[in-house]
Chains A and B, each alone.
Chain A
């Protein structure tokens, strides 16, 4: 059940309230328990989906949570932010003729309903191997690699540069989609496996490359934290933000509670968000909750937007104006602050290689949109801080670290997974590649 748009835009509380116990049991009982379950093939971390659903169907919630945690230590997170419609749920056989099982809701319930249990169960751990692994970054990739390696018996230390663990789960995804207490709880579960998380430790700076290489293996899960800018005139005017900055100020530093919290953000009266992905939707919905009228500007058509359909729907319900086939050409300012965007209309042409429409500007169609805050959510790349210090690490054209199917980089002992290797993708794809790399590290360490 979702909260009404006119109510939810007034706060940062969660939009989706989940399903009731009765609804969950009924939904779980609807699962036909396929012999060869397609849903599992659709899950990047390979959760035993029919297994946990069967446990829910007989009201054994703890068992359901334990089954999920064998493969995924972040079930409350994934139940909320995974694009299930194109993964497990998208593969569900019941979806062929009717409605697929709401696997995301079931996963979320299994995690949520057991969170307050006094004795949290911990997945079984293999005997200690005496091997030490350094994990760089505590986002979805780092946490998954660390959990997997710890379960396999290795001693794991995570180095996190920020003051709080969680990476994009903390600084990027807003509270109303992913409550931070839930993230903290699931991170504690990873710590309970024996993983040590050192916050305020910047790999390459607070921990030298030599210190990292003193470990038996290194996993890089540094994500895609470098914001891209459009390179337009007026971009440095106060009031123009990268989505990363805008979201970090609010999600990590609590700027929505300024001045109680001391990190400010421009709340804005008229906000323009540029982009059509999930980060753009998050930025627009945050700006809306800070009290602004929000326009989302996207260069192609709405059907070309990379954002999840649910996120587009949520944004529209929250009165965010979609200005599609429109691209900024300059930011305009008065009195040393941004006051608007000069934009141009785009005409769409034949589909490109990726299936989305090609586009070109319509000459002479320039117009101005007023705005006192602008958020650029046009994508992000890998943070170069550590990568620059290991020049032997081969990188792809888009800057991401080159890895093979095992997650091995071109430097012995160094593995990578998540956005730093795949380019900006989803939480669960990051977790999947990290888990694969962790298994490859385990194999290497046991040789």
Chain B
């Protein structure tokens, strides 16, 4: 127990958290587009999270506290330890060295995946345009990182509280229509956002990648929980992905499977609420 130290933990917004974790075997091998499995304690889930950055022997993750295990993770502080961190997993992003123009679109907590990708694309000699979006200004993450790395950065918020009002798909569409040379587009965010946004590039025949986040258990190809349909074929997001050709993904299949455990997630949180209540009573006694 407790072999992976949290070097730094902080809240980026009310529900989104950033963590730097000491995990040398992950940090030394991680490439853009890969993920790791975080298993905070013996009773929790193995949570797959994209590696958002590396620094020496440390990796950065960012996550939204939505389920029982991510909520537990959010309570951990700098200096605490995690039971297990495994990775890097999945195939690295397909970055081509050379003078390509790439657009990296991040939505919501999906923005967490963009800095490492933008940095890798930039280091490969590409011209990098970033588009990052959130529901509102408070939920926008990693703007500073992206501003530093990208050649151009566009920010959107759904409510217009910061940057351009609306979804990230609008500036992407403008760029596609502008006639500028665009070689590759990456879109990372919630399922519906990726589905809708990737439709923008389809008519232009631009190679577009999305990073899929289905439910996983081991993350190493041994359970098939993360199977997705891409180009009519069954793929395992953990070993064949997580990045796939956006225009080949069966989104309905993905999103149906992502919702598979919604009832259990509610049950789990209700259970914890009750446990928490019992604990407080005992303290009062």
Q: Which residues in A have some Cβ–Cβ distance to B below 8 Å?
A: 161-163, 171, 198-202, 205-208, 225-227, 229, 231, 235-239, 241-242, 244-245, 248-249, 253-254, 258-264, 336, 383-385
Contacts and interface: CB of A to CB of B under 8 A. Distances in A.
Nearest to B72: A262
A258 B264 contact: yes
B234 interface: yes
Contacts of A238: 256-257, 259-260
Contacts of A207: 25
A384 B221 contact: yes
Nearest to A201: B25
A141 B102 CA distance: 46
Contacts, number: 122
A95 B263 CA distance: 54
Contacts of A263: 44-46, 217
A205 B221 CA distance: 13
20 contacts: A161-B220, A202-B87, A202-B89, A206-B88, A235-B234, A236-B234, A237-B256, A238-B260, A242-B224, A245-B224, A248-B217, A249-B223, A254-B43, A258-B264, A258-B267, A261-B43, A262-B43, A262-B44, A263-B217, A264-B267
B23 to A, nearest CB: 8
A226 B227 CA distance: 12
B259 A200 contact: no
A378 to B, nearest CB: 12
B221 A206 contact: no
A236 B271 contact: no
- Chain A to chain B: the 3 pairs with minimum beta-carbon distance, closest first: A264-B264, A245-B223, A225-B222
A181 to B, nearest CB: 14
Contacts of A384: 221, 239
Interface in B103-155: none
Contacts of B67: 262
A225 B219 CA distance: 12
Given A238-B256, A248-B218, A384-B239, A259 B224 contact: no
B29 interface: yes
B101 interface: no
Given A202-B87, A263-B217, A227 B239 contact: no
A437 to B, nearest CB: 22
Given A229-B227, A259-B68, 17 more contacts: A162-B218, A171-B218, A200-B84, A226-B221, A235-B234, A238-B256, A241-B225, A244-B222, A244-B224, A245-B217, A253-B45, A253-B217, A259-B272, A261-B43, A262-B43, A262-B69, A263-B46
B86 interface: yes
Contacts of A226: 221-222
B223 A259 contact: no
B194 interface: no
Nearest to A261: B43
B114 to A, nearest CB: 22
Contact of B85 (A200, A231, A236): A200
A233 B89 CA distance: 29
B46 A163 contact: yes
Interface of B: 25-26, 29, 39, 43-46, 67-69, 83-89, 217-218, 220-225, 227, 229, 234, 239, 253, 256-257, 259-261, 264-265, 267-268, 270-272
Given A236-B253, A238-B260, A261-B43, A225 B268 contact: no
Q: Which of B44, B85, B229, B264 has the most CB of A within 10 A?
A: B264
Contact of B222 (A163, A264, A383): A383
A162 B257 CA distance: 23
B44 A231 contact: no
Nearest to B269: A259
Contacts of B267: 258-259, 264
Contacts of A235: 234
A254 B268 CA distance: 14
Contacts of B87: 202, 205-206
B222 A227 contact: yes
Given A238-B256, A262-B69, A163 B86 contact: yes
Q: Which among A225, A244, A261, A263 has the highest number of chain B CB atoms within 10 Å?
A: A263
B84 A163 contact: yes
B90 to A, nearest CB: 9
Nearest to A337: B260
Nearest to A336: B256
A259 B263 CA distance: 11
Contacts of A241: 224-225
Given A161-B218, A262-B43, A200 B271 contact: no
Contacts of B234: 229, 231, 235-236
B230 to A, nearest CB: 12
B25 A206 contact: yes
Contacts of B222: 171, 225-227, 244, 248, 383
A236 B229 contact: yes
